[in-house]
Amino acid sequence: MREVLRRPDFRLLFTGMVASMVGESVLLLALAIWVKDLTGSNSLAGATIFAIVAPITAAPLVGWVVDRFRRRTFLVFANLAAAAVLTPLFFVRSAADLWVIYTVGVFYGLSYVAINGALNGLIQLVVPGPLLAPANGALQTIKQGLRLIGPLAGAALYAGFGGWTLAAVAMLGFVLAGGAVALLRVGEDRPARSERRWLTEVGAGIRHIMEQPALRRTLLGLGLAVLLAGFTESILFAYVDQGLHRSAPFIGVLASVQGAGGLVGGLMAARVVRAVGEIGAAGAGVLLLGAISFTFVYPSLLLGFPATLLAGVAVPVSLVGFITLLQRMTPPELMGRVAAATDMLMGGPQAASIAAGALLVSMVDFRLLFVVMGLGITVAGVYLWTGRALAPPPADAGAPALVSSSPAPTGVA
C-alpha cells in the first residue's frame, strides 16, 4: 500500500476521495436514524436506505453517460452535483417532510453510481495494473475505517444540532473532493463517439461481464450474498431495539465497531488477493460473513461486538477482490458501463432485499431472518471459493492482465 501512496497522482485522487467518504460516512446511517426519530418506525428507517439504493436500477444508463466524458472532468462534476442534491435537507422539520429525505436519497443514489463509475475508470489511468489491488485496498481502508468515527460523529451532530448539520458536512466533503480531483493531471483523450445504437451501447457493460467467466461467477456469488445481506438494513434496527434493548442511535456504535474491522480488512485485502487471487479473496470474505450471521441469532454484546468487528474485516476483503478483478479485466473505454452494470446487478437485488427486510421485520422474528441470511451467504461463499481457479493469483507482481485492455490514452484532460 505504501508503494501506491508514494505516487503523487494517486495521493491527490486519494485525498479527494477521503473528503468525499468523510461526508458520506456521517450522512448515510444518520439519515436512517433521522427517519426513525421522526416516525418511530423500523420499516421506514430501513426504507431510507432503499431510497438510496433503488436508483441503481438506472445504472447502465448512467454508466453510458460516464463513458461519454473524460473521467477527471466527469468526477469533478459528479461530486459537485452530489453536494447540490443535499440542499433540500435543510428544510426538513417533521414527519410530514419525510418525502424530502426519500427524494434526496434517490438523487444521492444516482450521484453515487456516477461517482463510482468515473472513479473506477480514473484509477485505471492513474495506477498501473500491478498496483490496482493496493490502490483499492487503500481506498477501502479509509472507507471502512471511517466507520470508527463517521456514524458516531453523524449521530452526535444530529443529536446536538439537527439534521441540517449532516447535510452541511456532507456537502463540504463533496466540494473538497471535486476541488482535489480538478487539480489532478492525467493523460486522457476525449472518448470517441460510437456509431452504434445507444441501447446497444448502454448494454455493453452487462455483455462484457457475461462474456467473462471469472467476472460472471464473481458477480453471481457476490450478488447472492448482497441480496441476503440487504435484510440487515432493517433487521439491525430490530436487533438493537428488541434484542439488545437499546435506542436506535446505538446502531452508530455497532457501525463504528465494524469500521475498526474494516480498517484491518482494508489493510490486509491486497495481501489476500496476492495469496488466493481476486475470486478467492471475494469467497473468503463472503464465507466469513456467512458464519458471522449466525451469531446475531442470540442477541448479546459479548457476541455482537466481535461478530460486527469480523464483519468489518470481511467486507473490504471481498470488495477489493471484486473491484480489482473488474478493473483488471475491463478495457478503459468500457469501465463506466461495466462498473455501473455491476452496481445494478448487485444493487438491484440489494434494493429488493432491503424492501423485503423492511416488510419482513414487522412479520418475522429477526433471529429467523439472520439464520436465513447465514445459510444463503455461506452457499454464496462456497460458490465463489470453488471458482477461484478462474482468476488465480499472478505468478509475480508484473503478471499481465487476464484480458488485454486498450492502450492508455495520451494527452492531458
For residues 221 and 391, is the Cβ–Cβ distance under 8 A? no
Which run of H or E residues covers position 281? helix 250-293
SS3 content of the chain, % helix, strand, coil (to 5): 80, 0, 20
Kindly report, residue by residue over 68-87, the tens digit of the pLDDT.
Answer: 888 888 999 999 998 998 88
276-to-191, 214, 272, 279, 285 alpha-carbon distances in Å: 35, 14, 6, 8, 12
Burial of 140 (0-12, 13-18, 19+ CB in 10 A): buried
Cell of 51: 431510497
Total number of residues shown for the chain: 413
Pick from 231, 299, 173, 233: nearest CA to 29:
233
Comparing CA positions, the residue from 220, 211, 215 lying closest to residue 382 is 220
| Whether residue 402 has pLDDT greater than 50 | no
Q: Which grid cell sits at 385?
A: 471459493
Whether the full predicted model's pTM is greater than 0.85, yes or no, is no
Choice between 24 and 303, residue whose per-residue pLDDT is larger = 303
- CB 251, CB 236: distance < 8 Å: yes
Q: What is the mean pLDDT of the chain?
A: 81
Q: What percent of the chain has pLDDT over 90?
A: 18
Q: How many CA atoms lie within 13 A of 295 on its CB side?
A: 17
Q: What is the per-residue pLDDT across 176-191, written as a single tens digit (0 to 9) for each?
A: 999 988 888 877 667 6
Residue 325, C-beta contacts closer than 8 angstroms, at least 6 positions apart: 214, 215, 218, 278, 279, 282, 391
Q: How many CB atoms lie within 10 A of CB 97?
A: 15
The grid cell for 267 is 489493510
Could you report the per-residue pLDDT of 350-379, keeping only the tens digit for each?
A: 767 777 777 777 778 888 888 989 999 999
Q: By mean pLDDT, which of 91-95, 202-206, 375-379, 392-396 is the weakest? A: 392-396
Domains of the chain and CATH, by start: 2-187+202-390 (1.20.1250.20)
122 vs 120: CA distance, rounded Å: 5
CB 157 within 8 A of CB 166: yes
C-beta of residue 347 within 8 angstroms of C-beta of residue 230 = no
Task: Report the alpha-carbon distance of residue 9 to residue 19 in Å, rounded.
Answer: 16
Say if residue 254's pLDDT is above 90: no
Going from the C-alpha of 155 to that of each of 27, 164, 229, 253, 301, the distances in angstroms are 9, 12, 23, 9, 20
Whole-angstrom Cα Rg for the chain: 20
